[in-house]
Structure 1
Amino acid sequence: MSEIRGVLRRGRGRHRRRKRVPLKTAAAAAVLVAGSAFAVNAVDDRPECETQARPGGAHDDHRHGTAMGTCGTRPTAAHDHRPEGHGAPEGAGHPPAGGRQAPALTPEPAAGYDRERCGNTSGRVLLSLDDWAYSDPERATRIGAQLQAQGVRAAFFLINKYASQYPQITATLRQQGHWVGSHTWSHRQLTRLTDQELQDELRNGLPGNFLRPPYGDAGPRETEVAASIGQRVCNWTIDTYDWQQSDGAFRDAEAIRTTVREATAEEKNNGVILGHLFSNFPDALSGIINDLRDQGYQMCRNTGPTTDQVPYPLQC
């Protein structure tokens, strides 16, 4: 999903035959041309968008070779709809006052920003945990501590209807070295909302510049509104289907682990793994990390506390 952007520049134009002109006229014209060339160069001397080639490694034959830019415009490409699975509540409630987002402090994503990889070009794998642990809110910080002890940084996308009641959870996760992004205010499917409802869901979500839309469902309208408040969409390359239920029970940890282990090299390199705080995904994490390392992959490294501004490209 990475595209290479062309950089538009003024060309020199085609050579043309010109009539001879008197010497004085030619000299005057030369001065004007030189002045014009200086003005053009002054405009065109702005730095080009740098590109970062995805690094090689143990699985080079499967890796994406596309370079990604580090400047440009926000993406507006539509994303295919994801299945509605885990049944998190869609009730809106009354959003809290003052939920307006602060402007992003990091560079805007380039036109080639890969939303499924969340701007990850490190070759490493990013673990992500969505939603909320409804019966045990502190489960999030226990998971965060376990990952921190393993030197792993994860991304947590929290529903602010609940996270706003436990602000210490967000603060602790960031102190533990994890990124914390918005999963909207109440987990409503954004593409089904009116313009005003969409604004409310996004603006009252957890402050920051990272957004995971419920069900991964965000088209051009949703992406544009998110960008207007400084947020970029972050989806995933590997869905563990941990949200699926059979006879009232979620998928077990071993089935979740197997799904990740058997995912393709393309999905793992610069990949993002989707799991949820309320499922058995947290119980599968140790096995998932061991399997990936055995296969030659590394996790995003935990390098210390974070803020609500997630860098682009990801510093994994």
Structure 2
Amino acid sequence: MTAAIAVMAALSAVLAVCAAPASAAAGYDVERCGNTSGRVLLTLDDWSVEDPDRIVRAGDFLQGRGVRAAFFLVNNYAERYPRITAALRRQGHWVGNHSYSHPHLPALTENAAREEIRNGLRSTLLRPPFGDYGPRETALAAELGYRICTWTLDTRDWVKTGEQFPGPDVLRARVREAPAAVKRSGVVLGHLFTRFPDALPGIVDDLHGQGYRLCRNSGPTTENIRNPLDC
């Protein structure tokens, strides 16, 4: 009986580990997305509806500077332009899931939230729209093979003043003046439909000037984004 109890206890422990959500794994920091490198990860969300090729140009610039970024694309746009996802991965960038249609996942039924994630762009990182998620979304993400990935530094590039998004100089200053704690092994949030892509040259220059290193571009990627990140 003692041996049988020991076997059952060991089996229960294994099952508990296997059932644990991926983004709740020991040592995984949701805000840093598994970035333990000391380097800065730049991330660009959503889509550029008026000029989809702007996404590829942003990726090309970063590749030219030896930088690997993460692009979290909304799939109801990305599925219409598969060449863009393919181009970003050829350029050496990670491409993650930002849901199918960018809803607040916690506001949906469980089945609807599951389908939003399932029908998102296939990857192993999920950035919930608006950074809005809870235990249910974490568990759904794990069920579908994803880790939740948010950010440490929100540039607030999406907040308009009147009709205008903040310009490149403003965004550059927000990153430059942010505390070291959110930049070292940190994750910077910007968007593809704002002026953030225009600010990238200055942001990269400033981070280098402040002594920060950025995630290194070491060649093409696949949908499998490892934990910890290969920065």
TM-score w.r.t. structure 2 length? 0.91
- 1:75 CA displacement: 5.7
Cα separation, 2, equivalents of 1:298 and 1:311: 20
Q: Does 1:284 align with 2:199?
A: yes
**Unaligned runs of at least 5 residues, structure 2:** 11-17
How does 1:176-215 map onto structure 2 within 5 Å? 176-215=91-130
User: What is the aligned counterpart of 2:48 among 117, 133, 152?
Assistant: 133
Q: Does 1:74 align with 2:21?
A: yes
How does 1:93-108 map onto structure 2 within 5 Å? none
- 1:208 CA displacement: 1.2
Cα separation, 2, equivalents of 1:263 and 1:159: 28
Cα separation, 2, equivalents of 1:246 and 1:267: 25
Query: Which residue number in structure 1 is paired with residue 138 of structure 2?
Result: 223
- 1:238 CA displacement: 0.4
Report the CA distance shift for 1:296/1:72 in structure 2 as closer, same or farther (over 3 A).
farther
SS at match of 1:274: strand
- 1:110 CA displacement: 2.2
User: What is the aligned counterpart of 1:161 among 44, 65, 76?
Assistant: 76
SS at match of 1:249: coil
- 1:200 CA displacement: 1.3
Query: Which residue number in structure 1 is paired with residue 167 of structure 2?
Result: 252
One-letter amino acid of the structure 2 residue matched with residue 285 of structure 1: L
Q: CA RMSD in A?
A: 1.7
Map Cα deviations across residues 138-187 of structure 1 (whole Å, 9 max, x no partner): 11111111110100000000000000000010001000000000110000
Query: Which residue number in structure 2 is paired with residue 116 of structure 1?
Result: 31
Structure with the larger helix share: 2
Map Cα deviations across residues 181-226 of structure 1 (whole Å, 9 max, x no partner): 0110000000111111101111100011111000111100001001
Cα separation, 1, equivalents of 2:97 and 2:111: 18
Report the CA distance shift for 1:72/1:225 in structure 2 as closer, same or farther (over 3 A).
closer
Conserved? CA contact 1:74–1:111, under 8 Å: no
One-letter amino acid of the structure 2 residue matched with residue 144 of structure 1: G
Query: Which residue number in structure 2 is paired with residue 302 of structure 1?
Result: 217
Conserved? CA contact 1:238–1:267, under 8 Å: yes
Map Cα deviations across residues 274-314 of structure 1 (whole Å, 9 max, x no partner): 00000000111111111111111000000000000101100
Conserved? CA contact 2:22–2:146, under 8 Å: no
Query: Which residue number in structure 2 is paired with residue 143 of structure 1?
Result: 58
Query: Which residue number in structure 2 is paired with residue 29 of structure 1?
Result: none
Query: Which residue number in structure 1 is paired with residue 157 of structure 2?
Result: 242
User: What is the aligned counterpart of 1:263 among 166, 178, 181?
Assistant: 178
Map Cα deviations across residues 255-287 of structure 1 (whole Å, 9 max, x no partner): 111110111110011000000000000111111
Q: Does 1:314 align with 2:199?
A: no
**Unaligned runs of at least 5 residues, structure 1:** 1-35, 44-70, 77-108
Map Cα deviations across residues 46-90 of structure 1 (whole Å, 9 max, x no partner): xxxxxxxxxxxxxxxxxxxxxxxxx994367xxxxxxxxxxxxxx
Kindly indicate whether structure 1 or structure 2 has the higher relative contact order, using CA contacts under 8 Å at least 6 residues apart: 2
Conserved? CA contact 1:75–1:112, under 8 Å: no
Deviating runs (4+, > 6 A) in structure 1?
A: none
Cα separation, 1, equivalents of 2:173 and 2:108: 36
SS at match of 2:182: helix
Conserved? CA contact 1:73–1:111, under 8 Å: no
Cα separation, 2, equivalents of 1:269 and 1:291: 14
One-letter amino acid of the structure 1 residue matched with residue 129 of structure 2: P
Cα separation, 2, equivalents of 1:301 and 1:75: 25
Query: Which residue number in structure 1 is paired with residue 15 of structure 2?
Result: none
SS at match of 1:285: helix
Cα separation, 2, equivalents of 1:304 and 1:72: 33
Conserved? CA contact 1:117–1:272, under 8 Å: yes
Point out the structure with max Rg over C-alpha. 1
